Amino acid sequence: MKIILALILGTLFGFVLQRVGATDSRKIWGMLTLRDLHLAKAILFAIGVSSIVLFAGMSIGIIDAGHLSVKSSYNGVIVGGMLLGLGWAIAGYCPGTGVAAMGEGKPDAFVYVLGGLAGAFLYTLSYGAIADSWLFSPIGGGKVTLAATGEYSALIATPSAMLVALVLGGLFAAFAVLAPKKI
């Protein structure tokens, strides 16, 4: 069953990434040079709406909080994020959009994925040497969320996680609506 879901959900995600323009490196450069915020508005809106629906679904018990998977916070998240940002601006793709763009038959995306395999391999070989370094010192308690989920510890301890999610999600959605299409 999970295998079939993987095929359906993966196909859907690849399809959507193409249709939103995320597999078009020109759109990525447009966003990162702040000339064309179409994608930024879409991403902010998606985060806001999905967050509100997720927490609403969990609070009324139709979404299983056991399906959540919160990643750990540590120094390497910021350093790795910065490296990803550097490569993202250079290549015009992030991992998901690079894979999808390869499906569209773009030669540069194919080369990007080869580069990605090389970078991931280099990391696989390096991990043993850096595993005990400052890069993996936790930040803010490791696996934490802002709104309470019942599964992980929360930074904002209020009785209503739904309210926290509504405020955060509402802010993202409001930014999406108010941000100009071009600066």
Partner 1 sequence: MRQYWSWITSGTALAICFLLAVILVKPIGVSTQFVIADGVLWSLFDDSLITTDTDSKSGYASTNAYLDKSGGKYAAAVENPINYSFLFVLAMIFGAWLASRFNRPTTPPDTASQPVCRLGDQRSARLLRAFIGGAIVLFGARLAGGCTSGHMMSGMMQTSLSGYLFAAGAFAVAVPTAIFLYGRR
Nearest approach, Cβ of residue 150 and partner 1 (Å) = 12
Quote the distance between the C-alpha of residue 27 and its chain's center: 17
Q: Which residue, 43 or 59, has its beta carbon nearer to partner 1?
A: 43
Phi and psi (nearest 5°) for 138? Answer: -70, 155
* Contacts with 172 (C-beta within 8 Å, 6 or more apart), sequence order: 44, 45, 47, 48, 51
Q: Which residue, 105 or 159, has its beta carbon nearer to partner 1?
A: 105
Nearest approach, Cβ of residue 166 and partner 1 (Å) = 11
User: Could you tell me which of 177, 161, 183, 180 has the C-alpha nearest to residue 51?
Assistant: 161
Tell me how far apart the alpha carbons of residues 130 and 127 are, in angstroms, rounded to a whole number: 5
Nearest approach, Cβ of residue 159 and partner 1 (Å) = 16
Beta bridge partners of 153: 144
User: Could you tell me which of 38, 44, 46, 6 has the C-alpha nearest to residue 22?
Assistant: 38
Tell me how far apart the alpha carbons of residues 107 and 104 are, in angstroms, rounded to a whole number: 9
Nearest approach, Cβ of residue 171 and partner 1 (Å) = 11
Nearest approach, Cβ of residue 66 and partner 1 (Å) = 10
